Chains A and B, each alone.
Chain A
Amino acid sequence: MLPSDPLEHWDQRPIAVAEGAKLRLVTAAATARRVEVGMTAAAARAHCAELTILPWDAERIGREVARASAAFLVASPQVTPVRGAPGTWWIGAGGLHGSSLGEGTFARTLAELARAWHPRARVAVADSCVAAQAATWSTRAAGGTLHLPPGGDAEYLARVPIALIPMDGELREALLALGLRTAGAFATLDPLDVERRWGDLGLAAWRLARGIDDRRAALARTDDPRAIVHELATSADSMEPVLFVVRAALDRLVHDLTTDGLAAAEVTITLTLDDATSALPHTGTRSPTVVRIVRPARPVARLAPLFERCRALLDDWPERIHFSNGAPVRAVEVRISEAVPSSAEQRDLLATSWRDPAAVDAALERLRAKLGPGSVVRSVRRDSHAPERAGRWDAVERLAPTRTASVVSEAAEARAPATPAAARLLDRPEEIAVTLDARGTPRALAWRGHRFPLARAEGPERLSGEWWHADPFAREYWRCESANDGRTFLVFRSAEGWRVQGWND
């Protein structure tokens, strides 16, 4: 959601992003109103009535992260979004030291790019990721950027609080209890002592405290132009984000192949699984991986058929991947493991296209473009006594099957047969005139200029509730069968008078 005032940054407005029932991100303005990550929407609004709460949209966030990553590619070919921390990137600055561009300029360039997203973006340049990340906490005083001299990581880290070194919480707690409050103090311990007390995890953290960090930016590898490795911003437990990455990677690789006059004879996809230690520094053990190879019937230099084969393979994978060790995917490598010179046919722009199920998505996208956002929807049942609240239309972003968010209670199921909802509900109930008999039963109704004598009227059914909302309801419903055409109208009487809400044909 964009701010209405172009001069006002979104961070200056009270906005939160909720995942499920809880808030996952909040803006600075929301924080100032005591809205905190982890709160429920109701709790947050009790502090800040005008809080805008947006749903967590992993796909959209992934897209934005990818867009930002692409923008950073202007400054460096090595851009990796940090997993689990959307908004943080490792960006390679190899070779800039001593060059005319210089690391300081590089940092300022990155900061300028980053300010497109946030006015107080911070950039630090260091030999190691750990030092760079620690240094971003000192950049506020340095105008948003800071670069450490080459070889200066250990000296810099020696003074930083132990809290800035990534490590297991329990280890950090133990170090603090021992009185070791800086990375430098930790670094002075004998590694054998560290290993005896905290094992590999301790040693890995100890190395970080000394500025030894083998984590690097990894999106593009200049040493291997036929492979792309992408670490996902958050570990994926479905194939959707993986396919997104595979498609983008293939696009890039196919482009490079065609530039070189080559076609792909074999594609290798390697998924690195999250073994729950990836947020910590490397411990020397390799994360588990799953490798699959795609060999098209003939060498191909077009994205669509290659991606279609890969998608077919990946669609068949999820269960097997999960059952291998139950871990989600944290990185994807797409490699053209075998390339051959492309044939003339391969270069034929007029060749008929492959059948592409994604075309449906494309079609839906076109509908959205034509009819506006939110025009493609599907119905989801909800648990409420009020007919208009007993269902909702959810926007469809993709056609991919998803589980229906049905939260209908047993009580609702029990009541459902006795209270069939109107098949056609009006967006807003409309005013009607009703003629009653002596016992107060509707005998005729007039709606949109037509009069409907009633053959039968069943009711009343009293429904009321949601008194804690701004718009509680209290209605007396009747199901009125028209003597004209047999339609059954769902009408109600409330404090505002008679309304028709829908009908069954």
Chain B
Amino acid sequence: MNIIYYFAGLLSGVSIASFFIGKELYKFYVKDKVQKKQLERMEKLNKQFKKTFDMEGPEFSS
């Protein structure tokens, strides 16, 4: 009986630890993926701004 208790305790411990570690890792993975994409877009926008203002910013009229 003690071995089964030990096994059940081990399984519970591993499950809890895996849940918390897994959720943090997944959060990190998603954040990393999304932020890389955001950085690429920001870089592209920055280049466009530079290009436009280097050629003297266009006057916007209504």
**A in complex with B:** no
Q: Taking beta carbons and an 8 Å cutoff, which residues of B are in contact with A? A: none
Q: Taking beta carbons and an 8 Å cutoff, which residues of A are in contact with B? A: none
